[in-house]
């Protein structure tokens, strides 16, 4: 169990405006001893604990931070479970509502609550939520001292403003989103890059951080490719260009993940093959459509059947452990691709009735 004694002593002493010297005089110890307690370099004699607790009018458990440690452990588990739910699920929504009711002042919880207000069910009833969203956002910006939380809330707000800018009645324009974006850090100022670039390279940690940075860059690159060429949805772009974009992305991912374990890119590769199959159908090339749809289905099935923790063996990520819960503990690739192929992709009824398509769907059917 984590004991938070040093930081508790410091917090309690300062909240009462007491100097280390005054506190030390009361206990009959040196102020250097108190200083060491607060730095967690040493602890007081056990016989002093009741006297210290009485001085601050709290219990010994509170003094030691045991209750606080228990609450922190509980909250850490709740946050972990929340982060591993699939995006926009009802379970994820319920989990964050429970957390904000129990821990309303924790900024980690407020950040997740902010995301839920913005994006749950695609941000429906945005006009009713905007005031609450602005209130939570302002509280994080004005009072949270953790840069990671504040910057993440800015990213959420910029994305939310971008969505609202499409609704005339919202009163929000893209300039509101751009104002936030312009003040955010550049990619090169990000944690992953700096840890890989500056961490001492004679340690195992350096290799771990470098692989993490490369995976993050691959993920961002995949998103960038999608936006650059509108590969999935932009019908104004020539279909051959969109096909070429997806095939290039697939080649890139197969180069980096040459052992067949796609790590954080499992969704990217599975979706890329599925979307490519859809585009080949639109182009009228059924052979290529079936080929890519089948590949997508096989990868989805393989992901679902893979152990939760695996060790990657690819050239770039040799020895790196991948936890597939990184993509969400409730995420099942087969279910998602089944939905896309049977409901979302605009395949003709005649195409869906072919034996080839039925065999592909059979791979994915988890019922």
Residue-wise DSSP of 187-218: GGGSHHHHHHHHS-TTSHHHHHHHHHHHHHHH
So what's the pLDDT on residue 253?
Answer: 97
Query: What string of pLDDT tens digits covers the 367 residues of the chain?
Result: 445 678 888 888 888 888 888 888 888 888 888 888 888 888 888 888 888 888 888 777 777 766 666 777 888 888 888 887 766 678 888 989 999 998 888 899 999 999 999 988 776 677 778 889 999 999 999 999 899 999 999 999 999 999 888 887 788 899 999 999 999 999 889 888 899 889 998 888 899 999 999 999 999 998 888 777 665 556 678 889 889 999 999 999 999 999 999 999 999 999 999 999 999 999 999 999 999 999 999 999 999 999 999 999 999 999 999 999 888 777 899 999 999 999 999 999 999 999 999 999 999 986 6
What is the Rg, in whole angstroms, of the alpha carbon atoms belonging to the chain? 26
Q: Which one, of 331, 333, 336, 329, lies nearest residue 84 by Cα?
A: 329
* The model's pTM: 0.71
Nearest-angstrom CA–CA distance, 336 and 356:
19
pLDDT of the residue at 123: 64
Would you state the pLDDT for residue 3? 55
Report d(CA 320, CA 196) in Å as an integer. Answer: 15
Question: Rounded CA gap, 81 and 140, in Å?
Answer: 22
The predicted structure's pLDDT at residue 1:
43
Terminal CA-to-CA distance of the chain, rounded, Å? Answer: 43
β-sheet bridge partners, residue 322: 310
Q: How far apart are CA 150 and CA 140, in angstroms?
A: 6
Residues paired with 310 in a beta bridge: 322
CA dist., res. 23 & res. 34, Å (int): 8
Give, as one character, the DSSP assignment of residue 65: T
Whose structure tokens read 């900024």? 107
CB distance 285 to 318 below 8 Å: no
Per DSSP (E only), the strands in 176-311 are 309-311
What's the rounded Cα separation, in Å, for the pair 289 and 277?
Answer: 4
* Predicted pLDDT of residue 321: 95
Integer Cα distance of 86 and 326 in angstroms: 10
Residue 366 is predicted with a pLDDT of 66
| Contact yes or no for 273/303 (Cβ under 8 A) | no
pLDDT score, position 278: 94
Burial 20-32 (b: 16+ CB within 10 A, else e): beebbeeeeeeee
């Amino acid at each position: 169990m984590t004991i938070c004694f040093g930081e508790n002593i410091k917090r309690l002493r300062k909240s009462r405006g007491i100097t280390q010297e005054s506190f030390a005089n009361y206990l009959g110890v040196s102020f250097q001893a108190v200083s060491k307690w607060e730095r967690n370099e040493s602890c007081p004699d056990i016989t002093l604990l009741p006297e210290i607790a009485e001085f601050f009018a709290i219990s010994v458990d509170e003094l030691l931070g045991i209750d606080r440690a228990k609450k922190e452990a509980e909250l850490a588990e709740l946050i972990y479970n929340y982060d591993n739910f699939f995006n926009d699920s009802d379970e994820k929504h319920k989990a964050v509502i429970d957390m904000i009711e129990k821990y309303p002042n924790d900024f980690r919880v407020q950040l997740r609550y902010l995301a839920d207000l913005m994006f749950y069910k695609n941000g429906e009833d945005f006009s009713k939520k905007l005031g609450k969203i602005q209130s939570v956002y302002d509280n994080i910006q004005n009072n949270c001292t953790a840069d990671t939380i504040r910057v993440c809330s800015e990213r959420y707000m910029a994305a939310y403003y971008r969505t609202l800018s499409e609704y005339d009645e919202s009163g929000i324009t893209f300039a509101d989103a751009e104002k936030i974006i312009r003040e955010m850090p550049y990619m090169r100022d990000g944690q992953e890059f700096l840890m890989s670039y500056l961490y001492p390279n004679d340690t195992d940690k350096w290799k771990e951080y470098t692989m993490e940075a490369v995976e993050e860059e691959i993920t961002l690159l995949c998103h960038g490719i999608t936006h650059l060429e509108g590969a999935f949805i932009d019908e104004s772009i020539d279909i051959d260009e969109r096909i070429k974009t997806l095939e290039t992305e697939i080649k890139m991912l197969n180069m980096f993940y040459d052992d067949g374990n796609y790590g954080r890119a499992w969704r990217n590769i599975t979706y890329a093959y599925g979307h490519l199959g859809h585009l080949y159908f639109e182009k009228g090339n059924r052979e290529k459509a079936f080929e890519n749809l089948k590949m997508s289905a096989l990868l989805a099935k393989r992901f679902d059947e893979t152990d939760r923790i695996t060790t990657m063996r690819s050239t770039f990520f040799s020895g790196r452990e991948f936890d597939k819960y990184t993509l969400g503990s409730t995420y099942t690739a087969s279910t998602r691709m089944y939905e896309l192929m049977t409901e979302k992709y605009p395949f003709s009824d005649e195409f869906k009735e072919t034996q080839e398509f039925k065999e592909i769907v059979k791979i994915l059917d988890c019922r």
